[in-house]
Amino acid sequence: MSDENDDKKEELVKVATAKMQAFYGKDGVEKSLNDLMKGEHFREIPEFLSPTNAVKTVSCNTASELSGKIACYTRSDYKMAAKQYWPLVKCVTIKVPNTKELLEHIVLLDLPGTGDCNKTRDDMWKSHLSQCSSVWIVNDIQRAASEREPWMILESSFRYLIQGGECESITFICTKTDDINPKNYLGSPDLKNTELQLYLEKKEDNEKKRGCIQHRNEQAKIMLGERFNNEVVKKKPFIQMENIFQVFTVSAEEYQNDGENILEYEQTEIPQLKQVLKDMNERHSKTTVKNYVSGVYGILSLIKAANSNDMMMVEKKSNMYQLLKESLEEQLSTITSLMTKHYNDLKNSCQRELPSQKSHACRLPRTK
């Protein structure tokens, strides 16, 4: 137990040291509190000295420009020469314009995965997972089936799904599908001297690479589907798995490439992911409208009923009042009988235990 506490303390010291050095530099740990709170440290971020919740706003015209500006607030990269402000940041909210059909009712929450060196971030996904209606697990296609961490998140998501929580679907996204060496891939033991190898070896470089990418994508989907069924679903065989688990194999590089592409637009599978978002957004839009209309209808019905003076409504109100009154009296009678019994039992017990003392009369509260 002592060793465990020592390990926890050591971990906390490491995390605190990393935060101090990221913001104040290597000598930050040795500075006094007065030195740490000097305004010069917050010259570029005066918002953080605000007594209330501080918010810093950054606006950019392109995604790449935004990524460069917020790197010091989001990345814990010790190789960065500039000062890093991530120890002071609790949450980063990115608003993308002109995405009404995709994100009007959808919030994409990017959580750190397991294995983060910062224990706080390492546990963050556990506390937020139950609040997500859909979980997307993103991992390199070459490590999708072998790494332990994504499957920990997947199994946790599945538990929330079958327990009736917010989670309704799980999506596994394999990235960097364009990162492949056709020669090495076709020369692997599984493909050597196969029809696929003989067929692709005769193709031009681009066609050969496209064929390797498509084959690996298909194999990844089969492998992940089988592992999901064997390691996750088999524990709850009574659950219907249709449309709950999906696998996408994507290439952002090919999707954004304006030059000669290896993959066609649809083969990057990013358009399919966008369609998933669009469908989800439409479902939430319909649900929002339906709930709003139902709420308004209910309020109007109550107003109409309250203002109605016709004989039928008056009779209904009278019957309802009488029903509630009788029910209340019946419940009070039951409670009174029960309390009277307990009172008498307690009184008799006290008289037996203390015969020489006068018994004191107790009065039950009167019911009204």
Q: Residues 149, 239: one domain?
A: yes
Q: Residues 354, 288: one domain?
A: no
Angle at 134 between CA 163 and CA 229, to 5 degrees: 65
Q: Residues 129, 270: one domain?
A: yes
End of a domain among 48, 67, 95?
A: 95
Highest mean pLDDT (candidates 117-121, 319-323, 361-365): 319-323
Question: How many domains does the chain divide into?
Answer: 3
Q: Residues 81, 117: one domain?
A: no
Q: Residues 229, 248: one domain?
A: yes
Could you give the residue ranges of the DSSP H alpha helices within 25-147?
33-36, 63-74, 100-103, 119-129
Mean pLDDT score of the chain, rounded to an integer? 81
The predicted model scores a pTM of 0.69
Q: Residues 232, 87: one domain?
A: no
Residue 159's φ and ψ, nearest 5 degrees, are -65, -45
Q: Residues 127, 252: one domain?
A: yes
Report yes or no: 248 and 171 within 8 Å, Cβ to Cβ.
yes
Q: Residues 49, 169: one domain?
A: no
CATH code (residue 283): 3.40.50
Q: Residues 178, 289: one domain?
A: yes
* pLDDT tens by residue, 42-79: 888 888 877 777 888 899 998 889 988 888 888 877 66
Q: Residues 121, 262: one domain?
A: yes
Q: Residues 89, 132: one domain?
A: no
Domain extent for 51? 1-95
Q: What does the pLDDT average to over 357-368?
A: 46
The Cα 142–Cα 176 span in angstroms is 8
More confident call, 308 vs 348: 348
pLDDT for 81 equals: 61
Q: Binning pLDDT at 50, 70 and 90, where does residue 362 land?
A: very low
Question: What percentage of the chain has pLDDT greater than the value 70?
Answer: 82
- The beta strand positions in the chain, using DSSP E, are 134-140, 169-175, 245-249
The Cα 135–Cα 147 span in angstroms is 18
Q: Residues 167, 239: one domain?
A: yes
End of a domain among 42, 68, 95?
A: 95
For the chain, the distance separating the N- and C-terminal CA atoms, rounded to the nearest angstrom, is 59
End of a domain among 74, 95, 116?
A: 95
* pLDDT tens by residue, 265-300: 999 999 999 999 999 888 888 887 788 788 877 777
pLDDT for 78 equals: 61
* pLDDT tens by residue, 305-335: 666 666 666 677 778 788 888 888 888 888 8
Could you give the residue ranges of the DSSP H alpha helices within 75-202?
100-103, 119-129, 148-162, 182-186, 195-201
